[in-house]
């Protein structure tokens, strides 16, 4: 799996609650049998007009935010479907970190499998980053997962964050879940024998 | 031993390895596979020279992309066809049992699992689809997973997962006539919100849940994910055992009787504690209709569109304003004044036989309103035949309702069944997100009877008034 250790990049704000997976990537783009190439589908309903042209009002179409690597968003981001295409589309676009007060469970899990950090911060800190990203378009944010800290260049934002140690370890080291579990193959065999499976 | 909830019993029974502070490695008894979330997982196996560990616990079907037109007609969408072909190829190469679009056992993955007897009490069930929560209605622990996890389960027959918390949703009292399982779950989501269940497994209890049929229980559990819950569950009882008896892949004869004894022990122990409790009174419920762009934006049929100005905070006010703009609705408007263009009866939420009967009963001897296009998509090939044996297809056809072949269809619009921009649909599916049924389409979630009633009237009506 892809690792995530440290990132510095432009942060784009989308101040909406309950951004669902159908907004992140609509179902019509899930027909691909590839694991990459979803960047143009990201937020497509918001990003493009009905005629396919760019919607200039959408944040990622504004010049200052176009090359964003970080999103700051409202609570319950990624609710809805289990589609891993959602983190794939974010990753393919170049977004490797999403900051919110909360995420939907399946989306949250899926991010860790793809080198994308879904970072949970308290409401006042998310608000601080949201306001800074809106008032200072193109501002860069640094996220250090190893040192568990988020800051901007001016250090006006400087936040120490908490994250589950096992999830951090998996992401920092880009651990291969399947490889790890296959090392427990004897335990799995024992379980099957014991349960008559 | 301390008293345990049903979920804890099933979880504890499936832990293969639990290292301190690590996710548990839990055994998976049933892995359901479909064409959309599996191709990259099979590719991963191939790249690493891995096999499917337990072919006997893995079943695949084609449902999301399949056209619902006559089976003699081809799949015209080239990209959909490619994905369906990939499932055929992958299942053949790895040896996975596949019910393709021509199989008599084909259907929506969450419909065929229980209907064929694969899903059973006490099992752990996964599928690369969030509505896997449906299977919890039989007393299974069933969760949706991503494609990386699909690959993990294929290779190891286990899943790495942190243990969720538990929530009891107790539905007291008896449902009034004309109020259904769909209205129960919409009311629950309206009450706890689309984030209310995050991190939790919901167990639905109470008199109104006990009185539901299996079809109704599946409707409730199906939408657990719409409240953000990891899973939904209902304790198995005589209704569950009667439902499973004689199903093709359920235990048979003496084995079935032995299984029932095991299943009876799964119920939550007296005195077991849930992390949260929510109660609702079924006797006060009305038929429900969503008016917004999340399933939590819902009102009883006697209700009105809310005013964003009344919202508690700015974020909610923005979300309501945006939802009303997208849905082209005005604050204060009566739900019954909303005119519709289409109805869709189908999806893993409401495409079982009981749902089709409920819709048929409403349209019987009547005609669909001239401005409405109505479509009914049965949940599986088997249910389609069962409905036709009862003459439901004739009732629909005489009323002017289009009777289709099984699939996910217009629930998410991956196949040719989609809304045009601006079209408004009364839908028995589970999500009313922006663009869910087609870009610019407007979705109102309702029960099958309410969708059928709207088809006749051309706007929402209280099905109890018909």
Question: Distance from B83 to chain A by nearest Cα, in Å?
Answer: 6
Distance CA B337, CA B339 (A): 6
Predicted confidence at residue B118, as pLDDT, reads 98
- Tens-digit pLDDT profile for residues A116-148: 999 999 999 999 999 999 999 999 999 999 999
Q: Which of A157, A152, A79, A65 is closest to A118 using CA atoms? A: A79
Nearest to B152 among A22, A28, A181 (CB): A181
Distance CA B57, CA A66 (A): 46
pLDDT, averaged across chain A: 97
Going by C-beta distance under 8 Å and a sequence separation of 6 or more, which residues neighbour residue B177? B464
The interface predicted TM-score (ipTM) is 0.97
Going by C-beta distance under 8 Å and a sequence separation of 6 or more, which residues neighbour residue B227? B188, B189, B192, B193, B194, B196, B197, B202, B295, B296
Q: What is the layout of strands, in order, in the sheet containing B24-27? A: B15-17, B24-27, B158-161
Distance CA B364, CA B367 (A): 8
Domain boundaries, chain A: 6-194
Average pLDDT of span A64-75: 98
* Chain A residue with minimum CA distance to B294: A18
Q: Best mutation site among A22, A23, A29, A33 for testing chain B: the one with the most B CBs within 10 Å?
A: A33
Question: Distance from A178 to chain B by nearest Cα, in Å?
Answer: 5
| List of chain B residues whose C-beta atoms are within 8 Å of the C-beta of residue A185 | 156
Token duo for residue B264: 């009876």
Residues 3 through 42 of chain B touching chain A, CB cutoff 8 Å: 16-17, 21-23, 25, 27, 29, 36-37, 39-40
pLDDT of B177 strictly over 90:
yes
- By the CB < 8 Å criterion, does B224 face chain A? no
SS3 A7: strand
Predicted confidence at residue B1, as pLDDT, reads 85
CB atoms within 10 A of CB A4: 23
| List of chain B residues whose C-beta atoms are within 8 Å of the C-beta of residue A105 | 164, 198-199, 228, 230
pLDDT of B457 strictly over 90:
yes
Cβ proximity of B142 and B110 under 8 Å: no
DSSP letters, B364-383, are TT----TT-EEEE--SBHHH
Cα Rg of chain A, angstroms: 18
* Record: contact A20-B431, CB cut-off 8 A: yes
Global pTM? 0.97
Element (DSSP H or E) covering residue A183: none
Query: What own/partner pairs with CB < 8 Å and gap ≥ 24 does B328-332 have?
Result: B328/B422, B328/B424, B328/B442, B329/B291, B329/B305, B330/B305, B331/B304, B331/B305, B331/B306, B331/B307, B332/B304, B332/B305, B332/B307
Predicted confidence at residue B300, as pLDDT, reads 98
- By the CB < 8 Å criterion, does B212 face chain A? no
* Record: contact B128-A165, CB cut-off 8 A: no
Distance CA A50, CA A32 (A): 22
- Tens-digit pLDDT profile for residues A161-189: 999 999 999 999 999 899 999 999 999 99
* Chain B residue with minimum CA distance to A48: B439
Q: Between the CA of residue B8 and those of B21, B238, B268, B274, what are the distances in Å?
A: 18, 22, 9, 10
- Tens-digit pLDDT profile for residues B414-442: 999 999 999 999 999 999 999 999 999 99
SS3 B385: helix
Residues 338 through 397 of chain B touching chain A, CB cutoff 8 Å: none
Domain A6-194, CATH among 3.40.50.170, 3.40.720.10, 1.25.40.10, 3.20.19.10: 3.20.19.10
Nearest to A182 among B65, B156, B162 (CB): B156
Average pLDDT of span A82-95: 98
Q: Between the CA of residue B119 and those of B114, B125, B250, B257, what are the distances in Å?
A: 5, 7, 8, 16
* Record: contact B27-A187, CB cut-off 8 A: no
Going by C-beta distance under 8 Å and a sequence separation of 6 or more, which residues neighbour residue B401? B359, B363, B368, B374, B375, B376, B455
Q: How confident is the model at residue A11 (pLDDT cuts 50, 70, 90)?
A: very high
Which DSSP letter does residue B163 get? P
* Record: contact B433-A102, CB cut-off 8 A: no
Q: At what angle do helices B353-363 and B392-399 cross, to 10 degrees?
A: 40
- By the CB < 8 Å criterion, does B155 face chain A? yes
Question: Distance from B412 to chain A by nearest Cα, in Å?
Answer: 6
* Record: contact A184-B16, CB cut-off 8 A: yes
Average pLDDT of span B196-220: 98
- By the CB < 8 Å criterion, does B43 face chain A? yes
| List of chain B residues whose C-beta atoms are within 8 Å of the C-beta of residue A32 | 79, 83
- Tens-digit pLDDT profile for residues B212-266: 999 999 999 999 999 999 999 999 999 999 999 999 999 999 999 999 999 999 9
Q: Best mutation site among B17, B297, B430, B433 for testing chain A: the one with the most A CBs within 10 Å?
A: B433
State what percent of residues in chain B have pLDDT above 90: 99
Q: Which of B56, B16, B8, B7 is closest to B235 using CA atoms? A: B7
Question: Distance from B190 to chain A by nearest Cα, in Å?
Answer: 14
- Tens-digit pLDDT profile for residues B284-297: 999 999 999 999 99
| List of chain A residues whose C-beta atoms are within 8 Å of the C-beta of residue B38 | none
Average pLDDT of span B104-110: 98
Nearest to A76 among B44, B144, B194 (CB): B194
pLDDT of B466 strictly over 90:
no
- Tens-digit pLDDT profile for residues B4-56: 999 999 999 999 999 999 999 999 999 999 999 999 999 999 999 999 999 99
Instruction: Read off φ and ψ for residue B201, nearest 5 degrees.
Output: -100, 125
Average pLDDT of span A86-112: 98
CA B410 to chain centroid? 14
Cβ proximity of B369 and B405 under 8 Å: no
Predicted confidence at residue A1, as pLDDT, reads 78
- Tens-digit pLDDT profile for residues B49-96: 999 999 999 999 999 999 999 999 999 999 999 999 999 999 999 999
- By the CB < 8 Å criterion, does B158 face chain A? yes
Nearest to B39 among A33, A50, A76 (CB): A33
pLDDT of A158 strictly over 90:
yes
């Amino acid at each position: 799996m892809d690792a995530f250790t440290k990132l510095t990049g432009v942060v784009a704000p989308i101040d909406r609650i309950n951004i669902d997976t159908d907004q992140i990537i609509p179902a019509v783009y899930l027909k691909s049998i590839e694991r990459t190439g979803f960047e143009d589908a990201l937020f497509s309903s918001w990003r493009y007009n009905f005629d396919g042209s760019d919607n200039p009002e959408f944040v990622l179409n504004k010049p200052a935010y176009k090359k964003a690597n970080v999103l700051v968003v409202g609570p319950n981001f990624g609710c809805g479907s289990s589609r891993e295409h959602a983190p794939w589309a974010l990753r393919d676009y170049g977004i490797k970190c999403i900051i919110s007060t909360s995420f939907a469970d399946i989306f949250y899990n899926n991010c860790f499998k793809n080198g994308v950090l879904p970072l949970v911060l308290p409401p006042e800190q998310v608000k601080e980053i949201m306001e800074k990203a809106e008032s200072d378009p193109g501002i860069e944010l640094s996220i250090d997962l190893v040192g568990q800290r988020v800051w901007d260049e001016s250090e006006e934002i400087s936040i120490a964050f908490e994250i589950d140690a096992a999830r951090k370890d998996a992401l920092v080291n880009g651990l291969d879940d399947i490889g790890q579990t296959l090392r427990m193959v004897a335990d799995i065999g024992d379980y099957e024998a014991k349960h008559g499976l | 031993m301390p008293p345990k909830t049903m979920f804890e019993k099933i979880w504890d029974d499936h832990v293969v390895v639990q290292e301190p502070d690590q996710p548990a490695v839990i055994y998976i008894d049933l892995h359901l596979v479909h064409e959309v979330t599996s191709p990259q997982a099979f590719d991963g196996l191939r790249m690493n020279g891995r096999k499917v560990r337990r072919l006997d616990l893995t079943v695949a079907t084609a449902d999301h992309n399949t056209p619902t037109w006559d089976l003699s007609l081809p799949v015209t969408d080239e990209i959909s066809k490619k994905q369906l072909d990939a499932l055929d190829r992958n299942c053949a190469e790895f040896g996975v049992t596949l019910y393709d679009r021509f199989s008599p056992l084909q259907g929506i993955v969450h419909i065929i699992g229980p209907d064929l007897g694969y899903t059973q009490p006490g099992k752990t069930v996964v599928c690369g689809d969030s509505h896997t929560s449906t299977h919890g209605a039989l007393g299974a622990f069933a969760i949706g997973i991503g494609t990386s996890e699909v690959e993990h389960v294929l290779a190891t027959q286990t899943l790495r997962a942190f243990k969720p918390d538990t929530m009891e949703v107790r539905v007291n009292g008896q449902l009034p006539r004309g109020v259904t399982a769909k209205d129960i779950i919409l009311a629950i989501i309206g009450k706890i919100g689309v984030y209310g269940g995050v991190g939790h497994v919901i167990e639905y209890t109470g008199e109104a849940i006990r009185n539901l049929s299996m079809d109704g229980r599946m409707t409730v559990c199906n939408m657990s994910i719409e409240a953000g819950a990891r899973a939904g569950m209902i304790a198995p009882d005589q209704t569950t055992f009667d439902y499973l008896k004689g199903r093709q892949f359920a235990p048979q004869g003496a084995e079935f009787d032995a299984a029932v004894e095991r299943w009876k022990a799964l119920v939550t122990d007296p005195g077991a504690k849930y992390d949260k409790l929510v109660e609702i009174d079924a006797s006060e419920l009305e038929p429900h209709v969503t008016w917004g762009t999340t399933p939590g934006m819902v009102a009883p049929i006697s209700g009105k569109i809310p005013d964003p100005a009344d919202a508690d905070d700015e974020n909610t006010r923005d979300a309501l304003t945006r939802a009303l703009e997208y849905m082209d609705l005005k604050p204060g408007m009566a739900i019954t004044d909303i005119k519709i263009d289409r109805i869709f009866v189908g999806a893993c939420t409401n495409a079982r036989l009981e749902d089709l009967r409920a819709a048929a009963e409403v349209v019987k001897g009547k005609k669909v309103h001239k401005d409405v296009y109505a479509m009914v998509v049965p949940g599986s090939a088997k249910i389609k035949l069962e409905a036709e044996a009862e003459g439901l297809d004739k009732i629909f056809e005489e009323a002017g309702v289009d009777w289709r072949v099984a699939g996910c269809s217009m629930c998410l619009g991956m196949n040719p069944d989609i809304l045009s921009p601006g079209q408004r649909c009364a839908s028995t599916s589970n999500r009313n997100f922006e663009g869910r049924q087609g870009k610019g389409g407007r979705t109102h979630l309702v029960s099958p009877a309410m969708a059928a009633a709207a088809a006749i009237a051309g706007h929402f009506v209280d099905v109890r008034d018909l």
